[in-house]
Amino acid sequence: MFAYIVRRVLQMIPTLFGVMLLVFVLFNVFGGDPSLVLAGKHLTAESLANIRAQLGLDKSQFAQFMIFVKQVLTLDFGTSWSTQQPVSDIIGSRIGPSLLLTGSMLVVDLLIAIPLAATVAYFRRGLTDRIVTICCTIAMSVSALVYIIAGQYWLAYKWGLFPVSGWGNSAFHNLWYYVPLPMLMGLMVSLGPDIRFYRSFFVEELSNDYVRTARAKGLSERVVMLKHVLRNALIPVVTTVMMSLPYLLIGALVLETFFSIPGMGNAVVLAVNNSDFPIIKAITVYIALATMVFNLLADLIYKLIDPRVQLK
């Protein structure tokens, strides 16, 4: 297993280099000139040149790429071009709110989606299955913006069940006061596809021979579902969850914007609007790294769930 991990880690290097090259070309070659935005309304050729020199944009593309490589290797992306705060401070202060929102959303989503998917798969083609499937399809067809606008209007403003938006300084207070409405709105969007997706895994597992054998052996339906079907169906579920974990870091752009949540999503929107490349580059690299690491973790977890899986 150790050799496998080493091999996978080594494979990450060219992948990361590719990501860096892509990000660099996108922003430094095709992206607009950020000094134009940063110079304010009285910009002159001289002030632009001064800003470009301060940002290092007057250096050759190769020199700028080497600086980027150094930043990635040291994980020090310098300071934000617009707020001049250290990028690490910005990311450090923004990751908590994002994880609180997206993390709690993922947990609740899994707690609802997996049992519901297993239940409807068990009763497949029955009335429950049809009702849940139809509800999921309808829920999936509605735009997230519609949920947010309607939720803020009815649940928060009209009925006063939640605050319209906002964020406090205490994680516990945020969790029970500010998170529920955006989480609910997020779940409205994510539950539909997740239930249908997980249902298909359970349906597939339920039609396998080992289920028939287990039943023939006289095992109870509870044991069949929980011990055999659930365990096997969890492999694709783990894949899906592990692949979604890196995106928890980036937050929920729309939810954070509408609910004034000071998370990574909000920081990304602000950085894009301000052409704040150090933040954009840092977040992109972190997400790429997280994706590769979680991908590896997913493979390792397969082995734990199902010892038959061979890591080669």
Partner 1 sequence: MRLRALALMAMLTAACATTALAAPDPDKVLHSSFNAPETGYDPAKTSDIYSHGVMENIFEPLLTYDYVARPAKLIPLVAKSMPEVSADGLTYTIHLQKGIYFADDPVFKGKKRELTAADQVYALKRIADPATGSPSNYLVLGHFVGVDELAEKAKNSKFDYDAPCEGIKALDRYTLQLKLKQLYPALPYVLAMPHTSPVAREVMEAYGQNSLAHPVGTGPYILKEWKPGVKTTLVYNPNFRHVVFDFHPTPGDKAGEQVAREMNGKTMPQIGKIEVSIFTEEQPMWLAFKSGQLDELYSIPQPLLRGVLNMDPKNPRRAALKAEYRKAGLKISRVLDPEMTYWDFNMQDPVLGGFSKEKIALRRAIAMSFDTDQTIRDIRRNNAVRMEYTIPEGVVGHNPNFRYQYEYNRPLANALLDQFGYKIGPDGYRTTPDGKPISIDFLGDASAVGRQWNEYWQEALDSIHIRVTFRPVTFNDLLKAMRSCTYGMVGAAWIADYPDGENFVMLNYSKNIGAENTACYNSPRYDKLYLESQKLQDSPERNHLYDEMNKVMMEETPWLPGETRFRNRMMQPRVLGDEVHPIFQVSWRFMDIQK
Binding residues for partner 1, rule: CB under 8 A, are 32-34, 36-37, 39-45, 47, 50-51, 54, 79-80, 82-86, 90, 93, 149, 152-153, 156-157, 160, 163-167, 169, 257-262, 266-267, 269-270, 273, 275
User: Considering the complex, what minimum distance in angstroms separates the CB of residue 46 from partner 1?
Assistant: 9
User: Considering the complex, what minimum distance in angstroms separates the CB of residue 258 from partner 1?
Assistant: 5
- Of the two residues 39 and 99, which places its CB atom closer to partner 1 in the complex? 39
- Of the two residues 83 and 240, which places its CB atom closer to partner 1 in the complex? 83
| Residue ranges in the chain assigned as alpha helix (H) | 2-24, 34-38, 45-55, 61-74, 87-122, 127-141, 144-150, 171-173, 180-206, 209-216, 221-223, 230-250, 253-258, 264-273, 277-305
User: Considering the complex, what minimum distance in angstroms separates the CB of residue 286 from partner 1?
Assistant: 18
- Of the two residues 72 and 185, which places its CB atom closer to partner 1 in the complex? 185
Give buried/exposed letters for 221-242 (b at 16+ CB in 10 A, else e).
Answer: eeebbeebbbebbbbebbbebb
User: Considering the complex, what minimum distance in angstroms separates the CB of residue 268 from partner 1?
Assistant: 10
Give buried/exposed letters for 54-73 (b at 16+ CB in 10 A, else e).
Answer: ebebeeeeeebbeebeebbe
User: Considering the complex, what minimum distance in angstroms separates the CB of residue 289 from partner 1?
Assistant: 24
- Of the two residues 169 and 310, which places its CB atom closer to partner 1 in the complex? 169
By the 8 A CB rule, do 255 and 132 touch?
no
Q: How far apart are CA 110 and CA 243, in angstroms?
A: 14
- Of the two residues 192 and 263, which places its CB atom closer to partner 1 in the complex? 263
Q: What are phi and psi of 79, to 5 degrees?
A: -120, 155
Give buried/exposed letters for 13-22 (b at 16+ CB in 10 A, else e).
Answer: eeeeeebbee
- Of the two residues 98 and 284, which places its CB atom closer to partner 1 in the complex? 98
User: Considering the complex, what minimum distance in angstroms separates the CB of residue 66 from partner 1?
Assistant: 22
